[in-house]
Amino acid sequence: MQRLNGKHVLLGVTGGIAACKSADLVRRLREAGAEVRVVLTEAGARFVTPLAFEALSGHPVAGRMFDPQGRGAMEHIDLARWADVILVAPATAHTIARLSHGLADDLLTTICLASSAPLALAPAMNRQMWDNPATRANVERLRERGAHLFGPADGELACGESGMGRMLEPTQLAELLAGLFAAPLLAGVRVMVTAGPTLEDIDPVRYIGNRSSGKMGYAVAAAALQAGAEVTLVSGETCLSPPCGVTVVRVRSAAEMYAAVMQRVTHCDIFVGAAAVADYRPVRRAGQKIKRDRVRMELQLERNPDILGEVSALDRRPFCVGFAAETERVTEHARAKMSGRGLDMIAANRVGEPDSGFESDTNSLEVLWNGGGEAIPLATKERVAQRLVELIAQRYGKRPFAGSTG
Ligand code: CTP
């Protein structure tokens, strides 16, 4: 939280019941050393009085454009320049819509348009409003323009319903805001991630596949990108949209993945093998659909290349991170895989359990390296990937000869 020390936080408070939590948010931000100025919309002022924010922030609260008590016609420009970051909490569906359309019909939206500071939004609304395609599109548009979305969380809502739409707690918001000022952990580092399943064709309509959704690998690619890395994602077939800013190479089979990786990996500093690569492929792919005319048939398989093993065996090898999908004796099997392939790190997950592994949106990992390890508890794959990337960055920085040139 030291990262907020001395930072100028412009807090926009709009009209929702979660505005009551924003008073505590001001307190948390100031505790972390930030200077806070509050811009309260007209609707926001119906939930919490300007006086409360004035007392907590130690500054007059800005509200309307051309306020006779304000700092004149240029108040919006002054505040836009003053801010190191703008946090709108709560951000109502209406404010999100206005921001997404670039409206400037009150002081807060005008400041957002006039400022080059990063913009973070903490949505708070009824779950149907959050799910509404109009809100989804507005949020996506803002995200594409670089806005940071903090939440919302799943839980009880003020309207009596329960679901997505609850504003995050002030401590979480302060922490996420501090994260925006973190020095990028992997700035200038080139990372390659493999993700998803490989499909091994039997004939033009059938293949051998597996249950990997690609979500974990895509989350690792997104987290590495967020950490400032230049990311190449070599992806098997998935239904996922790759994170904007990542170079994507699409493949189908293990042989194609192997070729795509080997062609590019020598330019990489870190290699993360998150793909579920088929160990075997049919010896022959039938040119035509195989007919149901035989009572018994045999499918002959041959070994696929071990992509991770080959990368790790290169003379100028990148820092190599493997995944190990295990159903039993997870740590033991994972350690064996790490030493067998000479890896720098391995992330083991138990598959075949309801909340982790293939297809699930959540995961937990046991990350191991030579002489140490850390368990990442069950969380969304995005959150788990962020922690994994932090660990990778730490270990990568500590590798022998790190920091030396040539
Ligand atoms: N892997 C790979 N190429 C292969 C097989 C696996 O690059 N042909 C990588 C995976 O991306 C993963 C790691 O190796 O990072 C381990 O994969 P996993 O399927 O768990 O283990 P295997 O080593 O194949 O061993 P087994 O299937 O016997 O458990």
Q: What spacing in Å lies between the alpha carbon of 391 and ligand 1's midpoint?
A: 21
User: Which residue of 312, 323, 366 sits with most ligand 1 atoms within 8 Å of its CB, as the best mutation to test the pocket?
Assistant: 323
pLDDT at 404: 44
| Domains identified in the chain and CATH numbers | 2-179 (3.40.50.1950), 190-398 (3.40.50.10300)
* Ligand 1 pocket, residue 56 CB under 6 Å: no
Report the nearest-CA residue for atom 21 of ligand 1: 324
Which ligand 1 atom is at minimum distance from the Cα of 325? 20
Q: What spacing in Å lies between the alpha carbon of 145 and ligand 1's midpoint?
A: 37
Contact 275, 196 (CB under 8 A): yes
SS (H, E, C) 349-401: EECCCCCCCCCCCEEEEEEEECCEEEEEEEEEHHHHHHHHHHHHHHHHHHCCC
Q: Which of 112, 159, 244, 320 is catalytic?
A: 159
Contact 203, 289 (CB under 8 A): yes
CA separation for the pair 294, 357 (Å, rounded): 37
* Ligand 1 pocket, residue 324 CB under 6 Å: yes
pLDDT mean over 360-372: 92
Q: Strand 119-123 and strand 148-149: pairing?
A: parallel
* Ligand 1 pocket, residue 9 CB under 6 Å: no
CA separation for the pair 211, 196 (Å, rounded): 9
Q: CB under 8 Å, gap of 24 or more: what pairs does 310-313 form?
A: 310/258, 310/262, 311/261, 311/262, 311/265, 311/271, 311/273, 312/341, 312/342, 312/343, 313/342
pLDDT at 312: 98
Report the nearest-CA residue for atom 12 of ligand 1: 323
* Ligand 1 pocket, residue 304 CB under 6 Å: yes
Q: Which two tokens stand for residue 299?
A: 């499918």
Confidence of residue 406 (pLDDT cuts 50, 70, 90): very low
Of residues 180, 79, 93, the one with CA closest to residue 132 = 93
Q: What spacing in Å lies between the alpha carbon of 381 and ligand 1's midpoint?
A: 20
Taking all residues of the chain, what is their mean pLDDT, rounded to a whole number?
92
pLDDT mean over 90-110: 97
Measured from the Cβ of residue 297, the count of other Cβ atoms closer than 10 Å reads 8
CB within 8 A of 160, min separation 6: which ones? none
Contact 345, 321 (CB under 8 A): yes
* Ligand 1 pocket, residue 358 CB under 6 Å: no
Q: What spacing in Å lies between the alpha carbon of 325 and ligand 1's midpoint?
A: 8
Report the nearest-CA residue for atom 20 of ligand 1: 324
> What's the angle, vertex CA 147, arms to CA 145 and CA 150, rounded to 5?
150
Which ligand 1 atom is at minimum distance from the Cα of 310? 7
Confidence of residue 160 (pLDDT cuts 50, 70, 90): confident
Lookup result for tokens 């996506």: 140
pLDDT mean over 8-33: 96
Contact 376, 346 (CB under 8 A): no
Report the nearest-CA residue for atom 4 of ligand 1: 306
3-state secondary structure of 315: coil
For every residue of 144-202, DSSP letters joined together read HTTPEE---EEEE-TTS-EEEEEPPPHHHHHHHHHHTTSPPTTTT-EEEEEESB--EES
Report the nearest-CA residue for atom 9 of ligand 1: 308
Torsions phi, psi for 175 (to 5 deg): -65, -45
pLDDT in tens, 264-306: 999 999 999 999 999 999 999 999 999 999 999 999 999 999 9
pLDDT at 88: 98
* Ligand 1 pocket, residue 254 CB under 6 Å: yes
Query: DSSP code of 317?
Result: P
3-state secondary structure of 248: strand
What sign does the dihedral 307-313-317-319 (CA atoms) show? positive
Q: What percent of the chain has pLDDT over 70?
A: 94
Write the CA distances from 402 to 4, 69, 319, 391, integer angstroms. 29, 57, 11, 15
Report the nearest-CA residue for atom 24 of ligand 1: 279
pLDDT in tens, 34-89: 999 999 999 999 999 999 999 999 999 987 666 666 656 567 788 999 999 999 99
159 belongs to the catalytic site: yes
Q: Which residue type does 13 have? A: V
CA separation for the pair 42, 64 (Å, rounded): 7
pLDDT at 113: 96
Report the nearest-CA residue for atom 16 of ligand 1: 324
b/e map 110-132, b = 16+ CB within 10 Å: bbbebbebbbbbbbbbbbebbee
Q: What spacing in Å lies between the alpha carbon of 53 and ligand 1's midpoint?
A: 56
User: Which residue of 277, 326, 341, 365 sits with most ligand 1 atoms within 8 Å of its CB, as the best mutation to test the pocket?
Assistant: 277
* Ligand 1 pocket, residue 84 CB under 6 Å: no
Lookup result for tokens 């609304």: 125
* Ligand 1 pocket, residue 197 CB under 6 Å: no
Q: What spacing in Å lies between the alpha carbon of 241 and ligand 1's midpoint?
A: 24
CA separation for the pair 324, 401 (Å, rounded): 27
Q: What spacing in Å lies between the alpha carbon of 337 and ligand 1's midpoint?
A: 8
Which ligand 1 atom is at minimum distance from the Cα of 304? 8
Lookup result for tokens 């922490």: 175
pLDDT at 1: 63
